[in-house]
Amino acid sequence: MKKLARFCPKLVSERVNKLPDYDVLLDAREVLCPIPLLKTKQALKKLASGQVLKVLATDPATEKDLRILLVLTQDELVSFEMHQNEFCFLIRKK
């Protein structure tokens, strides 16, 4: 990132400024369903209203599972990104 900042400081600052903040990180990479779903549910229960949970996962089933969970809990999916085989969710507790 530092090398990129030296050549493209505006690009790096724009990317950094656009990244949403989060309060708690849940690393559920390299574990399979239903573990990412269960750990996300547990982590959300511990958050206060308005706090943001960042979930990292590699199991493709996690995307569908978490979207269904959020419909049931009415928590907000702030953002979802997929890079190669890694999923990143930002979830705001209602």
Angle between helices 61-73 and 35-46 (to 10 degrees): 30
Q: How far apart are CA 35 and CA 58, in angstroms?
A: 11
CA atoms within 13 A on the CB side of 88: 11
Catalytic (active site) residue 88:
no
Residue 17 token pair: 């400024």
Residue 13 token pair: 């600052």
Catalytic option among 33, 35, 47, 77: 33
Annotated catalytic residues are 33
